[in-house]
Structure 1
């Protein structure tokens, strides 16, 4: 809906400069609401006109701003043109703002902000997002939880903006650790214990054999031999590996379901074995595969061709490495799924790995590697349960649910709920998600359960609480029609602040998509909750004249819809009672 107001201003700029009005729409931005003073609504920086070639670069910006401001006129949409030093601010007709914006949300609540002309510049098509990607039989630690939450947000956002999204969970299901696990299970494993608690037993076997391997060379040799048998598809080794993988995927599906997360493909390093040989042949044919004195296969990545920087792609015994399998997976995916862009979500320690991966793909002549992106994130410290260190994701989810349930039972404002445990689970997951997504992804952060689960402050519980209060208000006044409303009743400062803020929604989604950073959307929703909570306190529906009640209900209903939409993009299921 912001585009209606941008288009009106762009039409004036079009007449002045002779460019089509579509040219100017992306240059106009909605001004964030200020707590201290009334804010203008839309801003145009003259520097953006210079950068886009409309104005010459060598003239005084203040003089250019003053000259342009004199040519802009007030009309039915623009009430005031306010020149600054290097920017021009516009105040728009607030009656028109209330009418147009709230009609737009009310008419198409689920698609509000998603049809904006701002998104015309975005690349559409098929987006493949690889995220979560835990290693079979290892700890599903906080890093995998971060990858899961972040990747789900990116997939949701891309889908909301019109991309066809393929969600891939690329399991760590190959490599030398499976040599260790296979060799260890043959000595220490029990099929009976697998039936009782499969993941826990595999994890215990892996930990024990890993410790033994540090002291015992024969175990390391047995592990290398088991992995060699795996790569040669020896039947007994392959059968045991398939059993481990099937058990793990089945268990992970159940846990992801609790998070409300699904994947289109559970693939893994093992899926691309046949393609790996093709990749090695391609590297060899192009003269890129070198053999070192130790017998390892490497690719020279140095600019000078002096091996000052290289990547190992083959061990001396002929077995593959993580990077080899990732190259094969990328080529395989392009052939099978024909993606337009591919996004990897892993922790920042793997940044160098992905730089090498993308460089080797380009050296192999795959120009689409330019459309591959790594989204790195920082580490989480202090995420542990009351019983000790987190082992699996399920421990984190149980802890969040149990603590939230305890908080709800102690709260005097909690409502009667059909399923308190389910509500507590949804609130706990909301808390985890907002804590994780509210800062730059690259940042490390310390985890504190008490802070995360607070209903006050900028938390996931606060978002859910605000949404539930709005739902309660709308239920209470369900008999009051707000199909038609008079925008004159929404001209107070509280209503206007909320309306001005809602006007920014499409810009926030665009910024989130361009940067693949969720914090912009999180901050938008938190500010919306503060503005709506303030309006809810100061603008009662009960006891107000019918026309005033109708207008306020329309505002609260639309704010509730946008809040729910934004939460779903973040991966949060909105609750209607708590």
Structure 2
């Protein structure tokens, strides 16, 4: 495994420079594989970090320092050769040992643990991670805009869990606030219980659109909405009963969509859970002298550095009702008490960055130092996500269309295998394609949705990942019984084999990078690169017709690639298919 080689090189450096091995591990990285470039070295040591940390003198010519240090290091049974670049020392490890150590776990039934115990992760914060994601508003159909929060939050949860954290997956529903005043007033005027039973979310959506239009023209509707919300906050039974009905209907409908996406939650929470605690927060802010009254009669917290009211956060309306942020403060405090998290991650679109900055500042002002371990992961907007049927895009429609288009593509292809359940395969491949298109770039960027590009079998797409995985499964199936518990690593000498092994060396680094910045693009691009390398190996490294020891070694290599592809896809939230 990569950590074995990293440790061996660190031992060599530690002896030469009379330092601890740990000092060198962060500066040692696997060399990325490039498409059209023959690459001999496997690891590189950057001298920059060693100079910064005082292991090497920070002054002086870095080229001379590089040459000097390289000349003092001698090859051995692990490191075959040592060379230098500008401020970098390159290490090439013994080829047989590289194959043996990297592919060893795949013969021991530890496929799903490959590189997950790397010492690179020792510096990561472990413990309990609470991830809040998806968080749609109840009484509305699941809009395609919520797709990003759902799949990003699922990825972060999967990643943290695979690296040994205890993860609490929370769906914090928008189930309170003035929108329910509007919906309640609207339902009393335009709602129909029969239609609510037939197609609940569609009917509530229609009512909401209608009442919003009416409210623009009619002040009585606005007043009725305010009255209904005040009744909710006052726990009046009729208003609460209607609200409860809306909430139950919605959660039931959402769970169908989550099931299709392969997403689950440990906790369904919501703003409504924290109405009473929001009052306690207001009391606490008053007692600390933090709650001020603005000229408009609203309750505000002054967050400006000079306390001159230039940066205020409104947390109470002039009629005394609470706002989203008031309930968010109460929710954060309640979660810390209930779940004792070591970190809490909120996944929402980037328009809410200021909201979370204010939330974390107010928590700090209330004396909650753990607010420093709270983090907002912002994401950009998806542009142009439309189905054939119209402009308002509900997620179910998008998933249906992804499945239908994928099914059409599969029936048109000459390579499609006989499948027991083609619809199920099309659904998994379609959802994988959605996820990969979303995850290829930085999360904060907006991106343009493109059906045709997303569902291409060639190129850097989710379909290509699934196709490669299915192809590897087919290869393993065709050669069932040919695999052996041991293999001869010496026969994996071709450059095509070596580059796959060199690429696998980077897997723990890619996971480490993703764990630090919570961006899935590193893992997506790593897996896509692996698929391109596997495609070349399929052509150049036949299993059938090769001598037994060569066939067994190649099968082990392909088995390792399949396993890493499977594990990586599952972390991304994609269910791999074995046939397509």
Q: TM (normalized to structure 1)?
A: 0.99
In 2, the alpha carbon distance for the partners of 1:399 and 1:237 equals: 38
2: distance between equivalents of 1:142 and 1:247?
A: 19
CA distance in structure 2 between the aligned counterparts of 1:406 and 1:230, rounded to whole angstroms: 49
Give yes or no for contact 2:81–2:93 (8 Å, CA) kept in 1.
yes
Equivalences for residues 163-562 of structure 1 within 5 A: 163-562=165-564
Q: Does the CA contact (< 8 Å) of 1:33 and 1:39 recur in 2?
A: no
Q: State the SS of the aligned residue for 2:376.
A: strand
Moved more, 365-374 or 20-29: 20-29
1:276-297 CA distance string (max 9 Å, x none): 1111111111111000122100
8 Å contact kept, 1:143–1:347 = no
Equivalent residue for 2:88?
Answer: 87
Within-5 A mapping of 1:106-125 = 106-107=107-108, 108-125=110-127
Return the alpha-carbon distance in structure 1 between the equivalents of residues 362 and 178 of structure 2: 23
- Give me the whole-angstrom Cα distance separating, in 2, the residues matched to 1:507 and 1:384: 37
Contact in 1 for aligned 2:385/2:393 (Cα 8 Å): no
The root-mean-square deviation of aligned C-alpha atoms, in Å, is 1.0
Residue in structure 1 matched with residue 53 of structure 2 by the alignment: 52
2:31 maps to 31
- Structure 1 residues without counterparts, runs of 5 or longer: none
- 1:345–1:375 contact (8 Å) kept in structure 2: yes
Query: What residue in structure 2 maps to residue 42 of structure 1?
Result: 43
Q: Aligned partners of 2:175 and 2:393: how far apart in 1?
A: 18
Q: For each residue in 1:451-480, what CA deviation from the matched residue of structure 2 results, as whole angstroms up to 9, or x when unmatched?
A: 101110100000000000000000000021
Runs of 4+ in structure 1 deviating by more than 6 angstroms, as ranges, are none
Measure, in 2, the Cα distance between the counterparts of 1:411 and 1:64.
58
Alpha-carbon distance between aligned partners in 1 of 2:504 and 2:530, rounded to the nearest angstrom? 8
Structure 2 CA distance, aligned partners of 1:218 and 1:519? Answer: 50
On the 8 A contact 2:140/2:250 being kept in 1, the answer is no
Aligned to 1:127: 129
* TM superposition shift of 1:391: 3.5
Equivalent-residue separation in structure 1 for 2:64 and 2:184 (angstroms): 74
Q: CA deviation at 1:390?
A: 4.1
Q: Could you tell me whether the CA contact under 8 Å between 1:110 and 1:565 is conserved in 2?
A: yes
Counterparts of 1:345 and 1:164, CA distance in 2:
18
Gaps spanning 5+ residues in structure 2: where? none
d(CA) in 1 for partners of 2:382, 2:40:
38
2:23 corresponds to 1:20: no
SS in 2 for 1:479: coil
Report the 3-state secondary structure (helix = DSSP H, G, I; strand = E; otherwise coil) of the residue aligned with 2:367.
Answer: coil
Distance in 1 separating the partners of 2:435 and 2:295:
49
How many residue pairs get aligned? The number is 578
Contact 1:408 1:414 in 2 (8 A): yes
Alignment partner of 1:254: what SS?
A: helix
Does 1:7 find its partner at 2:7?
A: yes
Deviation at 1:73, TM superposition (A): 1.1
Aligned mates of 1:334, 1:461 — CA distance in 2? 41
Q: Is the 8 A contact 1:32 1:39 kept in 2?
A: no
Mapped partners of 1:286, 1:60: distance in 2: 57
Shift of 1:70: 1.3
Please give the per-residue CA displacement for 1:214-273, whole angstroms capped at 9, x wherever unaligned: 111000000011001111111111110000000000110111001110000111111111
In structure 2, C-alpha distance between the alignment counterparts of 1:223 and 1:21, rounded to whole Å = 66
Given that 2:107 and 2:486 are in contact with CA atoms closer than 8 Å, whether structure 1 keeps it comes out as no
